[in-house]
Chain A
Amino acid sequence: MKNLRLIHVAALVLALTASGPATAADGAALPWWIWPIALFAVSFIIGIVAVLAGVGGGVLFVPIVGSFFPFHLDFVRGVGLLFALSGTLAAGPMLLRTGMASLRLVMPLALAGSIASLAGAVVGLSVATDLLQIALGATVITIAIMIWAMKAADFGVVESDALGDLLRLRGEFEDPAAGMRIDWRTRRTAAGLAAFAGIGFFGGVFGLGAGFANVPALNLLMGAPMKVAVGSSGLIISIINSSAAWVYIHRGALLPLLAVPSILGVMLGSRIGARLLSLTPANVVRRLVIAVMLLAGARALLRGLGIWT
């Protein structure tokens, strides 16, 4: 039963990506209303898969829609930011209530990230599309390899540094899986701030949520427990993307016909994904996501190089 459901999800994602080039080529010939429906369907599926695989939706949305739909990358990146923003805003209240996200930890990191993301969004809208496609393809393929290679680390309670002490970057949460209250604190605060500035910049350039990078920065670099890293990453995306999204709105790079179905799709899909989370084998979904990212990344790369247009 579980495998059957998973196969359905896999088949849908792969069918959508595989049929994309043909439909993209006929973009102007098809009736306009096909595209919002297709976007809703793709966003809904990405919403489910992203939750199951523990990645931000933007990292799947931008390469898939940018490579297989007829929209210019300027519009796809604008929607990608709002896509990741709306999904993380919807998940935020639950993460904060359960203590999986820490507002105290998020505040300094999100501030560094959102300043850099504004610069990234401005740069992203000023760079030639071919160059951006190449960079996007290379980035997405690198991220897929990172997700494949990444392992969570549990450092226990780490020694905090002077800046971390000053900001009181510590907290506690109830872990129902472990059946205990976990105290935590973080380390390497200055390096963490620098990492989030870099992540924010790339997120702004490509219209990604960048959860793939937030989690290792919080867990591996700063020593936050994995659950706090995942939860706080979502809240950080919601703050960082709020800044960058306005650059796209003000530049006229946000088409409501593309944005609204994507937002509604991901918000509904994320809820289904959260329900399926306990039933689905995470490793299989993870492999599926890596495969889709490699395919979409290769497509973006080859499109940028003029090999597969």
Chain B
Amino acid sequence: MDVKPHDGPIQRLYARWLDAATKTGFAASLCAFLLYVSGALPPYVAPERLPELWSLPVGRFLEQTGAPTGWRWVALMDHGDYLSLAAVALFGLITLLCYLRVVAPLLRHGERLQAALAIAQIAVLAAAVSGLFAGG
């Protein structure tokens, strides 16, 4: 069976980065959430208000709270809820990070087609992260 000898090491490299990044995301989410619910960091929308708001469609929720869309929430990371959102958003970056890590080894081993697929996936993820597909 024609299995490339470098498949294993590249796969294990991806696994190592995935493992480290996921553990970091878990720890960051837990810390940020404790800061949020303990009140150590003030929230943008008070948790006490949320039971009246979370049954609304997202559009009406945004109207009532003035909560930001797109990347504007980054400016609110001094609030407990948006620091928690940043920690949760880390999970959405982990795959991008792992793909970025394996592109160079793929090219080094002459895997141009696999590298092209990885670069295309990075482009799709980067476009998603940028908010290009979030629309209105």
Our pick among A86, A111, A129 for the contact of B57 (Cβ within 8 Å) is A129
A168 touching B2 by the CB < 8 A rule?
A: yes
Quick check: B11 and A89 within 8 Å, CB to CB? no
A96 touches B15 (CB 8 A): yes
CB neighbors of B among A72-122 (8 A): 72, 74-75, 82, 85-86, 89-90, 92-94, 96-97, 99, 102-104, 107-108, 110-111, 114-115, 118-119, 121-122
A residues near B134, Cβ cutoff 8 Å: 122, 246-247, 250-251
Tell whether A74 pairs with B22 under 8 Å between CB atoms, given A118-B133, A247-B128, A256-B85: no
Q: Are A245 and B91 in contact (CB under 8 A)?
A: yes
- Does B1 contact A183, Cβ atoms closer than 8 Å? yes
Q: Tell me, yes or no, whether A125 is within 8 Å of chain B by CB.
A: yes
B22 lies within 8 A of A107 (CB): no
Q: Size class of B's contact patch? A: 35 or more
CB-defined contacts of A171 to chain B, threshold 8 Å: 3, 7
Beta-carbon contacts under 8 Å, A245-280 to B: 245-247, 249-261, 263-264, 267
- Min distance, Cβ A123 to any Cβ of chain B, angstroms: 10
A92-B15 in contact (CB<8A): yes
Q: Which of A33, A86, A258, A264 has most B Cβ within 10 Å?
A: A86
B91, A89: Cβ atoms under 8 Å?
yes
The answer to the question of A242 belonging to the interface, with a C-beta cut-off of 8 Å to chain B, is yes
Bound Cα distance A28, B92 (Å): 31
> Which chain B residues lie closer than 8 Å to A104 at the CB level?
7, 114
The listed residue (A30, A93, A125, A244) touching B19 by CB distance below 8 A is A93
**Chain B neighbourhood of A30, CB < 8 A:** 51
Q: Which of B8, B36, B92 contacts A246 (CB 8 A)?
A: B92
A: which residues have CB within 8 A of B?
Answer: 27-30, 32-33, 35-36, 70-72, 74-75, 82, 85-86, 89-90, 92-94, 96-97, 99, 102-104, 107-108, 110-111, 114-115, 118-119, 121-122, 125, 129, 166-168, 170-172, 183, 185, 238-239, 242-247, 249-261, 263-264, 267
